[in-house]
Amino acid sequence: MKKQICKYRYLLCLIMFMILTGITTAFGQSEKFSESIYPVGKLKPIDTVPKLKVGDRAPGFTLPAVSGSKISLSQYVGKNSVVISFVPAAWTPVCSDQWPGYNISKELFDKYDAILLGITVDNIPTLYSWTKQMCSPNEKIWFPVLSDFYPHGAVASKYGVLRSEGVSERALFVINKKGIIVYIDIHDINKRPFLEDLVKALEEANKQ
C-alpha cells in the first residue's frame, strides 16, 4: 500500500507542477480590461429568414426608451429618415462596440437628416447600465435606445430578425421619410458592419 502511494506521489507531483505553471500563465493573461463583457464565442452567422424587403413599408411599433419616454416609428414619418440598429444583446462582445461608434457619429446622422434608433431584446435596467458605460460619466448616448423586451422580441419578430435563441440578429434597416424601407443589412452576428456602407445607404435614402 505504501509503495503504491509512493508511485502515485510521482504522478501527483507532476500534476501539481502543471497546475502551478498553468496558474501562472493564466494570471499573466488576466484580462484587467475585459470588464463585464460576456464571451459568447462564435455564433451561427444568420439564424432567421427575411420577412421584409427593400421597398416594403416599415412595420410600425412603439417601444419604451431607456430615457423613460415611449418612441413610435410613426412620429418620424414625413420628417426624418430612420436607421434602426438591432443588436443581439447587451454586454456581448461585438454589440458593445458597435453603438459607441455611432455615438461619436452624430454629425453624420444629422447631415442626412436621420434619426438612429437602437433596439435590443433586453429590459430597460440592463440597457441603462450597458449604455451608460459607452460614454463618459457626465455624458449620455445621443440616440434613443429602445427595449423590445416584453412581449419578448415582438418588434424584432415583425422585422424578421428574432433568432431561435431569443436574441435579435445584428441588423440595420434604413427607412426613408415616406416610411419605406430602402436598405436592409442582416449582418453576420459575429461581425460589425462597416460605417461607410451605412453612410452610402443614408445618402441614397436622402435622395428619395
Partner 1 sequence: MKKDKSILIIISFLIIILFFKSSLQGAEESLPIPDPINPYLVSKKNFPEFELPAIQNEAERNYLGVSKNGDFTIGQIKAEILIIEFYSFYCPHCQRAAPDVNEVYQQIQNRPDIKEKIKIIGIGAGNSDYEISSFKNKYKVPFPLFPDKRMEIFRSLRLRVTPTFIGIKINKNGTLEQFYFREGGFEDSQKFLAEIIKFSGIEPGEKNEKANM
Phi/psi zone of residue 10: left (φ > 0), alpha (ψ -120 to 50 degrees), beta?
alpha
Rounded distance between C-alpha atoms, residue 92 and residue 191, angstroms: 12
Q: How many residues bind partner 1 (CB under 8 A)?
A: 33
- 133 lines the binding site for partner 1 (CB under 8 A): yes
Query: Which position among 6, 13, 95, 135 bears the catalytic label?
Result: 95
- 199 lines the binding site for partner 1 (CB under 8 A): yes
- 31 lines the binding site for partner 1 (CB under 8 A): yes
- 16 lines the binding site for partner 1 (CB under 8 A): no
Q: Which is nearer to partner 1, 114 or 155 (CB)?
A: 114
- Judge whether 95 counts as a catalytic residue: yes
Rounded distance between C-alpha atoms, residue 134 and residue 103, angstroms: 8
- 98 lines the binding site for partner 1 (CB under 8 A): yes
- 26 lines the binding site for partner 1 (CB under 8 A): no
C-alpha cell at 130: 450597458
Q: Which of 45, 101, 125, 166 binds partner 1 (CB under 8 A)?
A: 101
**Is 133 in contact with 97 (CB distance < 8 Å)?**
no
β strands within 45-147, DSSP E: 62-64, 70-72, 81-86, 114-120, 145-147
Q: Which residues are catalytic?
A: 95
